[in-house]
Structure formats: C-alpha cells, structure tokens
Amino acid sequence: MIEDMSKKSPNSMLKLRRVAIDTYHENVAYLHRNCSLYRAEGFQALSKISIMANGSRVHAVLNVVDDEHIVSEGELGLAEQAFAQLDMEEGQLVRVEHAEPPASMDAVRRKIDGQRLRLEEFQQITQDIIDNRYSKMEMAAFLVSCAQGGLDREEILHLTRAMIDTGEQVHWDAPLVADKHCIGGIPGNRTTMIIVPIIAAHGLLMPKTSSRAITSPAGTADTMSVLAEVDLTPQKMHKVVSKTQACLAWGGRARLAPADDILISVERPLGIDSEGQMLASILSKKLAAGSTHLLIDIPVGLTAKVRHMNQALRLRKMFEYLGDRLGIHLEVVITDGGQPIGNGIGPQLEARDVMQVLENDPDAPADLRQKALRLAGRILEFDPDVRGGQGYAIARDILEDGRALKKMKAIIEAQGAVDADFTPAKRMTEICAASDGVITSIDNYQMAKIARRAGAPMDQRAGVDLVKKLGAHVKKGDVLYRIYAEFPADFKFATSLAEENSGYTIGSEDEVPQFYMEI
Amino acid sequence: MIEDMSKKSPNSMLKLRRVAIDTYHENVAYLHRNCSLYRAEGFQALSKISIMANGSRVHAVLNVVDDEHIVSEGELGLAEQAFAQLDMEEGQLVRVEHAEPPASMDAVRRKIDGQRLRLEEFQQITQDIIDNRYSKMEMAAFLVSCAQGGLDREEILHLTRAMIDTGEQVHWDAPLVADKHCIGGIPGNRTTMIIVPIIAAHGLLMPKTSSRAITSPAGTADTMSVLAEVDLTPQKMHKVVSKTQACLAWGGRARLAPADDILISVERPLGIDSEGQMLASILSKKLAAGSTHLLIDIPVGLTAKVRHMNQALRLRKMFEYLGDRLGIHLEVVITDGGQPIGNGIGPQLEARDVMQVLENDPDAPADLRQKALRLAGRILEFDPDVRGGQGYAIARDILEDGRALKKMKAIIEAQGAVDADFTPAKRMTEICAASDGVITSIDNYQMAKIARRAGAPMDQRAGVDLVKKLGAHVKKGDVLYRIYAEFPADFKFATSLAEENSGYTIGSEDEVPQFYMEI
C-alpha cells in the first residue's frame, strides 16, 4: 500500500477543510461531486476512503456534496471527529485514496462462520477498530458474530487482552488498588460514590474511573459531575489520588481500552447482549486502569440485566476464570436486582441520595446505604489486615463517624467542586396508585426509560424520584413517584409514558417477591 | 405514538432545509447544536429522529451541525435521500421527535439468540427496513444473524414472501414469462444479453430487469447501457415489451422487493455470504417482476461464489423447494465457473463480446456463445411446444440465421439506442506470461478486482480484455490480457495490482482442470 502512493498522480491531493458537523463516533469525509478525484477514482457514496498527510492517516466514510458552501471541488471536507484525528490545519494538502476493507474483517467472517479466533486475530480486530477502519456496520457484524455463536472463555480472554493492549495502561505505585463494578441495569444504584470514600478513608487506594450513561438515565460520572469536576486529565487524576487516596472521575479521557468505548457506542443502541463482550469490556477497563483487586456486583431480578440465579452463577464462574488468568484478584457478589436502589433516578436526584447517606441523614434511603456498606465491607476485606467478616462493621463505623463524608468532601475539593444545587427541575408531576394494596413489582427498565424521557442524564435535574418501594402498603391516590423535567416536550413525553405504564404493580402482600441478598 | 404528537409543544416545529449531501442509502438529518429542540429533547448525535409533515414521516440518523451555512438554529436539514422521501418544499414546517428503535429489532435479537422467526416477523422487519427505520448497523445485525445461525428453508420462504409483499409487483398478460438468473461471481458472464433476444425471437415473453454492479466490474444493466437506455419508467418498459416481447432494463426503478436493494447495499460491502438472504433476494425479485418460469445458473469453480459441487446441489434443492412453494416454475443448471466467460471484463468490453456473438462474428468468444445457447435452449424448453432436448438446436438456429441480432436491434431501438462506441479506454497495458507452459488457472476474483480498479463499471470503457483462457499454450512474454483505463490513477493502481498477482497460473497440461458443463 505505502509504496503505491508514490505512483499516484498529483491530482489525488486535495485541500483539507473542516466541516462543522458532529458525526459522533463515525468518521465522515465530504467530497464535491465534481471533484476531479472523485470522478477519476470512481468513488461511490458511502465507500470508505483513506486520507493521508504528514505520515498520519485516517479512514472515513465518504459523503458526496453538491454545495460549494460545504466543500468545493478541490477540497476534502472532514467532519469534526475525523478532522481532530488528523491533527492538521485547514488548507493543508492531503492525499486521498480508496481504503481497503480492514484485513481483520476476514477474521470476523470466519467468526460468523462459527470458527474460533486466536489472540492475534482479536488484536488485529481491535487495532483496526481504534484506527477507525471499521464502519458502524462492520462493528455491528463483529458484535453480532460474538453474540450469536458466542465466544468461548478462551476467546473472551483473548478479546480482553487485545482490548487492553490497544490502549493506554495506568500504573499506581501501590500494592493494592481497589475497584468495583456493577454489571448494571438497576436505576439509582449509585453505591460507588459511597464506597469509594469509605475505602479511601480506611487507607486503601481506590482511583475510580466510570463511564457516562449511554442508554441509562445516569452513570456514576454523570452523578459525580453534579458535585465535582469529573473530566480530569491523567495528570490531574494522579494529583487527586495522591492527595486523597481516591478519585471519582470520568474514564473517557484516559484511552483505557479505547476499542471497548467504540464497540459500546454500537452495541448499546443495537440492544445486543453479548456476554463475552461484556466480560471483556469490564475486565479490560479495570486492568488498564491499574486495578489489582476488583469486586463485581451482579444484581439479579426479573427486570435486571441478569434475570436468573443460574445465569448469575455462570457469569460468576466466567469472571473468576478470567480474573485468575489476567492476574487480578477478583470477587463476585450476587445482589438483589428486584427494584431500583435508592429513591432518585437521574444525576442530581441520585447525588442527593448519596449525600444523604454520607451525611447520615435519617431520610437517607436505607437500601442504598445497606448495599453500599455491604459492598464496601467486601472490598475492605481485600486488605490483608482486615479479618474475614469484619469489613461491614469497619465500613459502617467509617460512615457513621463522618470519616466517609469528610473523605468525600476532600475528593470533591481535589477534583474541583461545582456549585451543587439540589433544586429539582421546575416541571413536576406525581404518579399515583390506581388502587389500594401492596407494591409487588417495580420495573427497572420502565423507570429508567421514564427518567431518560424526562431528560436525564443530559438535564442533570431531570429524572424520577421514588416515594414507594417494594412491599409498601398504599391507598388509592397515594404518590408512587414524582417525575421532574426541565423542558415541556420532555415533561409531556415522560408523563405520557408513565401514564401508559407506570412501571409499578399493586397486589397483595403474599405476591411481594422475597429478597436474596449478596452471596 | 400518533396521539402523543398533539401534546408536543410548538417548538418541536422546524423549517425544512435541503442539505446537498448524498448519503447514499442512509437517511441523515442535520440539526444546529443551538437549536432549541436539540437542547430540549436531549438528542444525542447519531440518535435516530423521526420527521413528520403532512401525514408523511421519514426516519433519519441525526448529525449535529455548528455551521449556519449548513443549517441554522430554527431549521432541520435533510440530506438528499431523506429530503426526496419526504416530498416537501424547503421552508415548510416539519415536526421532529425521537424515533423509537424499530419494534422488529426485537425479532432480530431473538434471531441472534438462535430462535426461528415467523412470517409476520419477517414482514415487520422488511417493512421497517423500507420505511428507513433501520440504521446501517441494525441491518448489519439482521444480516449477520441470518448468516450465522442460518435461516432454515421455511424461514427463507417467509423472508422471500415478506420481501415481495413490501414492494410493487408487475403483472404481464401472458401465460409464460421467462426469466433467468445467474448467482454470479464469474466476470464477463453476459449470457443474458444473448439469451433474451433468442427467447423473444422464438416468441416467448422475456421482460428482463437486472441490477447494476455493486462489487463486480459490470452487471447486465451496466453492459446494456453501453448500447441502449436502461433506466426505463414502468410505462416505458411495458411499451418496449409489448413491441419486442422483451427488454433488458435496469430494475432499480420499479420498487420490486425494495427491502432487498437496501439489504444488499449493506451486505455486499460487508462481504457476508448468507445463503438464505441470497435465495430470498433472487426469488423475491423474480416473483415481483411477474416471472412464471425461471432458469437459475449456478457456476461452480474454485474462485466462483460456489466452490464445490455438493454445495451447488444443496443450493439446487433449496431453489426447487422454494420455487415449488412460491408457485414459480424453476429449473437449475450447474455450470462451469472455472474462469471468466468471454474475453471482456467491464461494460463496454462485455458489450463488444455480446454483439460479436449476436453478429456471428468468427472472433466471438466461443465459450460465451456456447453457454448462452445452452441456457437459452433450456429456457426454450419451458415452451410446451418445444420437445425436450430440442431447445439448444432451436436457439442455435435463431442465433445463426440472424433473428437474434435483429431482435436485439429492435430491443435497443425500443429502449432508445445510445451511440455505442467500442473504442477502448485510452490507457492500455499488457500483462504477459512469465514463463512457457499451459494456463492452468484464472482467478475470477482477481480478474474482477483488476477490472474494477481500472475503473469498471463507472468508466464504461475501462476493464480487462483476456487474450488467453484456460488450457492455452503460452510462451514466455505472450500477452495474457490487456488492462484498459481512462484515468492515470486508476491505470496505475490496476496495473500494480496485476503486477502483484496476475490472477493467472502457468503450469503443465495435466494440471488443467477438467470441465463439467451444465447438469
């Protein structure tokens, strides 16, 4: 390929132009229909092209333009994402040619045919993905091939290693770097923001990076951003950690397992559940972040991601298998995923719950407090000096005597406090019980969907605030939850969604599901 | 959904603007980042939106714009494809909201999970696809789910019916409407343009619609367009057929099985081979086109689409099973796919071969003539008045006494003759034998790739002209084939590809593969 370029005619050079279109995770290039290069090369709309200059190269999907205001005949337009990647000035000359399909698509096709892939093949695939050689549909093909035929545990190990290898890795100068992860699906489940200050107050290192919500109403990073800056440079993050033993930052800056971020941007909207992808995604991020000890929380419930106990147990075995081979100390707890945790759903409402717990407010949601303490207890027991079974009591002491709150304040201070404002969004409606009885189910999906429609996570103050939880006795007309929204369209849309299906079922006492707590 | 609209606030109305960007088969919409609707609704880049006006609705992927020249804050921009679908004037008010993910993606996810789908589910999927509710990646997910787990023959039947039902259907006032189809992969294989005039001259109806090349160097429509107009309105096509008993038109206008066209635009670039998709694609197009009798040509060869005889036989059974249930008289011939058919590869060079055969030119490629006569013979035997085994002789007579040529001229005249010019492209290079010996293999893929790189099918006169075929004795330096290109970049790229790998193998006489002809 590289050799051929010298043979190319000079008319393959075009002037670079930045096109102010945000194409999200996809690189898009724009050529004018009368561009001599387009005519000569026989490019077709949506074919992929390769753009080179100063030794760097980006790949982009081609759109053809008939408007000089966007690009003229001698120009190559690049949408924001692609332009940023090329790292050049407008007006500089770039070379354009047909992009070959990524070589690793051969491996994807073999996977579609039901074959096993080797480590090198996963490495080629992840490298091609972070080099932007994969189109969205090629990524979808890869994801479905992994979801359908499935990856065996050896392949998941390969994929995890490949995702780690193709990104940056953080190293902490500490023998024990604690981390936790919840496989998700439970709205309001913001235990991390309580656990991290407890663990750090005990003296263990817990530099936590989290994602922002993609399809959920709030991620830990979204919720923390209500209280503090979360978009930290790696330098800043290290400074915060050396000062406070912890951080609660957004992980998007650090290029940890970047292939995973790109794949997730395709996987989530598709709604494909690939167990192998999920395992590789979680573990690659944790290992790249330098964690040595990891607690995995698997909530089980009929409207949770994991619906049955046997599935949770199988996942646990897989985590254990992979953790051992990847050299990370890993434990799995299976928790109750039968309803949202805490009361708030949405960044600000969840931040409020977290602060109530840390402040030992008597109104703090008891389930969030309990769950956070139990998980924190398990992490504390990673410490060789903590006797098995003593973790919970230590965690509770740290919370109750205010050390956790103090640590949280220190973390917020170190990251950069923002003006936390707990006034909810200005539009509010109450969803009420349609009959007398007992709450027998709360649909996690539906509650998350209503909160999203209300504007969360983009509008921090939007979301849902639960008043009644499972097992509560209600009278007809009692408030079940409140919906908060900033904007009229969102407010109406969320309200009509809740009116269609409130997410709550009211029945009799004996229908209330029995909880099982962590195992 | 429809009811909710009335509740929407008026600020969800935006002024429609046409954005002169050709996004090929994907609908793209552009909103300014400061658009109040974008802020309020919390749209994210690449989320799908739904645009409504005057009772019609289109779906589009959202790109966010920071340039008033493309769209301003109160406007909604639509790329060419989406704009054309909405069928409105610029400046009219449109309503914009979040598009729900297509409901039929649930069925796709079940397919990914390995479940069988019912007719109604395939109908929902194809309907959502033609309504542009599927993104490229959702289509890729559907295609891979069908390729990997595979469709059983009942599911293929469902998919075929669903693809027919979601498009237009043509009806011909004739008891026998003949058609043929080759499953492809053999460059130069332009038998259709010889068969159609033979069949029509005999008196059977053969209104042939064909596709343009997507990944090959020429389709029948591309080749015919060298001689005549092929982009006919349905009215014009009927006129041509009533005049000449036949046509050789591009099928893209008629909206026959439109879901198939859209899926192919994703499937081809992905290079996924889904047998079920292929069967459904072929049969839905033929049935929608009103064909009653169909001959299927399956070329078998090491560099053909079908590589082994047992695979071809399995395909034949599938075609027969489906044809019987769909009520089309169908026969399958398995032919030799060991090398390109004819000499030319590329629209103009292939048109030249076709005309040489029709003109009984002694230089006409014998293999193309033979294959066309054999296939035409089989189609003639669909005629109840033709005795089994007599088809070939009748076809040969029609060709040799000039009736086929006369009919071809009538078809060209009726469709609208174009100034056929057989001067090849101005740049030419010869690829020569590197040693003495016998041609023992010619790689169909490589020859097609070289022809495409040379500019075919976009540049009609570009392509490859074969001089030696399988079994030919050559001396070192003898010309194997010539490459023709219009433009310097294409010329150099095709030449260097051929220099890397000529596609030819030279060996000894006993290595020449034995042919098998039609079965």
Q: Assign 3-class secondary structure to B243-297.
A: HHCEEEEEHHHCCECHHHHHHHHHHHHHCCCCHHHHHHHHHHHHHHCCCCEEEEE
Q: How many other CB atoms are there within 10 angstroms of residue A10's CB atom? A: 9
Q: Among A70, A270, A461, A501, pick the best mutation site for testing chain B contact (most B Cβ within 10 A).
A: A270
The answer to whether B11 contacts A79, with C-beta atoms less than 8 Å apart, is no
Q: B273, B361, B421, B436: which one is catalytic?
A: B273
In this structure, which amino acid lies at residue A209?
Answer: T
- Asked if B307 is an interface residue toward chain A (Cβ–Cβ < 8 A), one would say no
At residue B153, the pLDDT reads: 93
**CA-based R_g, chain A, Å:** 25
Each residue's pLDDT expressed in tens, for chain B with a length of 519 residues: 333 333 444 456 899 999 999 887 788 999 998 887 766 555 665 578 889 888 888 889 889 899 999 999 889 999 998 898 888 889 999 988 878 789 999 999 999 988 999 999 999 999 999 988 898 889 999 999 998 768 999 999 999 999 999 999 999 999 999 999 999 789 999 999 999 999 999 999 999 998 888 778 999 999 999 999 999 998 999 999 999 999 999 987 778 888 988 888 888 778 887 889 999 999 999 999 999 999 999 999 999 999 999 999 999 999 999 999 999 999 999 999 999 999 999 999 999 999 999 999 999 999 999 999 999 999 999 999 999 999 999 999 999 999 999 999 999 999 999 988 888 899 999 999 999 999 999 999 999 999 999 989 988 999 999 999 999 999 999 999 999 999 888 899 899 999 999 999 999 999 988 765 544
- Asked if B410 is an interface residue toward chain A (Cβ–Cβ < 8 A), one would say no
Give A-chain residues touching B98 at CB under 8 angstroms.
493
Q: If you search the block for the tokens 């034998």, which residue do you land on? A: B433
Phi, psi of B438 (to 5 degrees): -120, 140
Specify the DSSP element, H or E, that contains A95: strand A93-98
Whole-angstrom distance, CA of residue B170 vs CA of residue B154: 25
The answer to whether B492 contacts A7, with C-beta atoms less than 8 Å apart, is yes
The answer to whether A63 contacts B79, with C-beta atoms less than 8 Å apart, is yes
- Residues 6+ away with beta carbon under 8 Å from A151: A159, A274, A275, A276, A277
- SS3 per residue for A341-376: CCCEECHHHHHHHHHHHHCCCCCCCHHHHHHHHHHH
The answer to whether A137 contacts B12, with C-beta atoms less than 8 Å apart, is no
Specify the DSSP element, H or E, that contains A239: helix A234-244
At residue A1, the pLDDT reads: 34
Q: Which of residues 468-497 of B touch A (CB under 8 A)?
A: 486-490, 492-493, 496
Q: Which residue of B has its CA nearest to A32?
A: B21
At residue A515, the pLDDT reads: 65
Give A-chain residues touching B69 at CB under 8 angstroms.
69-70
Whole-angstrom distance, CA of residue A214 vs CA of residue A219: 8
Whole-angstrom distance, CA of residue A258 vs CA of residue A169: 11
Q: Which residue of A has its CA nearest to B148?
A: A112
- Asked if B275 is an interface residue toward chain A (Cβ–Cβ < 8 A), one would say no
Whole-angstrom distance, CA of residue B116 vs CA of residue B155: 7
Q: Is A510 a catalytic residue?
A: no
Closest CA to A13 of A99, A100, A91: A91
Specify the DSSP element, H or E, that contains A63: strand A56-65
Whole-angstrom distance, CA of residue B356 vs CA of residue B416: 20
The answer to whether B149 contacts A145, with C-beta atoms less than 8 Å apart, is no
Handedness of CA A100, A104, A108, A113 (dihedral sign): positive
At residue A137, the pLDDT reads: 87
In this structure, which amino acid lies at residue A201?
Answer: A
The answer to whether A272 contacts B141, with C-beta atoms less than 8 Å apart, is yes
Six token digits for residue B88: 């409105």
Whole-angstrom distance, CA of residue A150 vs CA of residue A162: 17
Q: A67, A87, A152, A273: which one is catalytic?
A: A273
At residue A5, the pLDDT reads: 38
Is the ipTM of this structure higher than 0.85? no
At residue B319, the pLDDT reads: 96
Q: If you search the block for the tokens 């030119």, which residue do you land on? A: B361
Each residue's pLDDT expressed in tens, for chain A with a length of 519 residues: 333 333 444 456 899 999 999 887 788 999 998 887 766 555 665 578 889 888 888 889 889 899 999 999 889 999 998 898 888 889 999 988 878 789 999 999 999 988 999 999 999 999 999 988 898 889 999 999 998 768 999 999 999 999 999 999 999 999 999 999 999 789 999 999 999 999 999 999 999 998 888 778 999 999 999 999 999 998 999 999 999 999 999 987 778 888 988 888 888 778 887 889 999 999 999 999 999 999 999 999 999 999 999 999 999 999 999 999 999 999 999 999 999 999 999 999 999 999 999 999 999 999 999 999 999 999 999 999 999 999 999 999 999 999 999 999 999 999 999 988 888 899 999 999 999 999 999 999 999 999 999 989 988 999 999 999 999 999 999 999 999 999 888 899 899 999 999 999 999 999 988 765 544
Taking a C-beta distance cutoff of 8 angstroms, is the pair A89, A16 a contact?
yes
- Asked if B366 is an interface residue toward chain A (Cβ–Cβ < 8 A), one would say no
Give the angle A280-A281-A287 at the CA atoms, nearest 5°: 80
At residue A488, the pLDDT reads: 86
Handedness of CA A52, A58, A59, A62 (dihedral sign): negative
The answer to whether A19 contacts B67, with C-beta atoms less than 8 Å apart, is yes
Q: Among A5, A6, A22, pick the best mutation site for testing chain B contact (most B Cβ within 10 A).
A: A22
Give B-chain residues touching A12 at CB under 8 angstroms.
489
Which candidate from B19, B41, B139 shows the least CB-CB separation from A137?
A: B139
The answer to whether B70 contacts A66, with C-beta atoms less than 8 Å apart, is no
- Asked if B426 is an interface residue toward chain A (Cβ–Cβ < 8 A), one would say no
Domains of chain A: residue spans and CATH = 3-98 (2.40.40.20), 101-167+255-285 (1.20.970.50), 178-252+286-415 (3.40.1030.10), 427-511 (3.90.1170.30)
Taking a C-beta distance cutoff of 8 angstroms, is the pair B281, B129 a contact?
no
At residue A88, the pLDDT reads: 87
Q: Which residue of A has its CA nearest to B100?
A: A269
Taking a C-beta distance cutoff of 8 angstroms, is the pair B228, B246 a contact?
no
Six token digits for residue B148: 């990997």
Q: Among A63, A98, A108, pick the best mutation site for testing chain B contact (most B Cβ within 10 A).
A: A63
Which candidate from A21, A30, A39 shows the least CB-CB separation from B65?
A: A21
The answer to whether B137 contacts A66, with C-beta atoms less than 8 Å apart, is no
Q: Which residue of A has its CA nearest to B79?
A: A65
Closest CA to A77 of A62, A59, A87: A62
Whole-angstrom distance, CA of residue A102 vs CA of residue A104: 5
The answer to whether A19 contacts B143, with C-beta atoms less than 8 Å apart, is no
Give the angle B428-B369-B305 at the CA atoms, nearest 5°: 75
The answer to whether B41 contacts A488, with C-beta atoms less than 8 Å apart, is no
Closest CA to A438 of A386, A343, A509, A497: A509
**CA-based R_g, chain B, Å:** 25
Taking a C-beta distance cutoff of 8 angstroms, is the pair B395, B218 a contact?
no
Whole-angstrom distance, CA of residue B342 vs CA of residue B220: 14
- Asked if B459 is an interface residue toward chain A (Cβ–Cβ < 8 A), one would say yes
Whole-angstrom distance, CA of residue A456 vs CA of residue B417: 62
- Asked if B149 is an interface residue toward chain A (Cβ–Cβ < 8 A), one would say yes
Q: Chain A: nearest CA to B26, how far in angstroms? A: 9
The answer to whether A148 contacts B144, with C-beta atoms less than 8 Å apart, is yes
